[in-house]
Amino acid sequence: MKPLIIIDSDIPFINGILEPYFRVRYLKGNQITNSDLTEAVSLIIRTRTKCNEALLKGGNVKSIFTATIGTDHIDSEYCERNGIAIFNAAGCNAFGVVQYVLTAIYSLHCFETIPATDMKMGIVGAGNVGERLARTAASIGFEVMRCDPPKKKLYGNTDGKHYYDLDRLLEKCSIITMHVPLNSETFNMCSDSFFAKMKDGSFFINSSRGEVVNEGALLKYRDKFGEVIIDVWNGEPEINRELLNSADITTPHIAGYSLEGKINATVFTIKNIASHFNISELSDFTIIPDRAPEFSHLTDKEKGDNFNIYNILKQRFDILGESRLLKSNPEKFEDYRIDYNYRIEITERDIITIQSLKSAR
């Protein structure tokens, strides 16, 4: 008899792929229970399945594949003690988050006379997402400062990048954007002392994990900041209504929800399964998306660079419209997330057009 795998039914593009090799059962991620795991050898999940002792104890699961970058929803210590292997989809949605951050900045800054790229960007966490953002932002003219203590300890400044202390980043940067994993060191990292050190009028963006931010402290210092953009929340899907109303852009944990990111997540997961179970037929698995639609790159010189860049970015991602939806219907947080119409990422042509606008100044 084929081994049984349980799959989160909201993972896209995976239906039918593993059936030739396994018995497959699809369940809602937040509805998978301990009793479902009696026979299952593996789980394929997203963040909505909390893989802890309560879920896993007494079951037969020996491998967990998460179609996400982060693994904080998995109790790694319990899994290590019990011989359960963990695989993630590192870097799968990195450029979707880059798109989210840049679109948010220009959406809120498009009519300002000061160029958005004159605002120094501080990136806290320079892993797959943060480093991709750093390179892209620098390529379109932002001055970028990175803070990543583990990388600074490992590399110093020998990898061609400079890693700044957090206090210096908070003091110097007009945009602070969070891209750290959630662990014991980053839990409530953004608290009173963090916000007190930020520059007056600066942007604050969190698209990493909700628990990185002490939401009470953020609200306490809200008047100190210019713009606040929140994609991830404590206690999802029951989110802080005061923060929802106070922030300028609010979205339901969809920063990485691009079509390309979701395809990558499933492809990386299938390849992890192919390697772990030695399924050679799936080792080169891929998904070819439909060709991305091309949008107009016409510009209006009278409206300035910021508006023209915003218009390019908005054609692929109307972040302000999505923010208004959540503000109007916060009780639909999880529905918006599950039924999200995956957006198309910005393309190389988009970036080249943005670069040309900046170089023409």
- Residue positions annotated with a catalytic role: 209, 236, 253
Amino acid at 226: G
| In contact, 59 and 70? CB cutoff 8 Å | no
Nearest CA-CA partner of 204 in 316, 354, 214, 113: 214
| In contact, 305 and 357? CB cutoff 8 Å | yes
Cα–Cα distance for residue pair 321/312, rounded to 1 Å: 15
Helix/strand/coil for 353: helix
Helix/strand/coil for 204: strand
CB atoms within 10 A of CB 58: 9
Helix/strand/coil for 42: strand
Cα–Cα distance for residue pair 191/281, rounded to 1 Å: 49
Question: How does DSSP assign 46-88, residue by residue?
Answer: -TTS-BSHHHHTTS---EEEESSS--TTB-HHHHHHTT-EEE-
Cα–Cα distance for residue pair 174/69, rounded to 1 Å: 27
Cβ-in-10-Å burial (0-12, 13-18, 19+) of 194 comes to buried
Angle between helical axes of 304-316 and 94-109 (0-180°, round to 10): 140
Cα–Cα distance for residue pair 292/285, rounded to 1 Å: 21
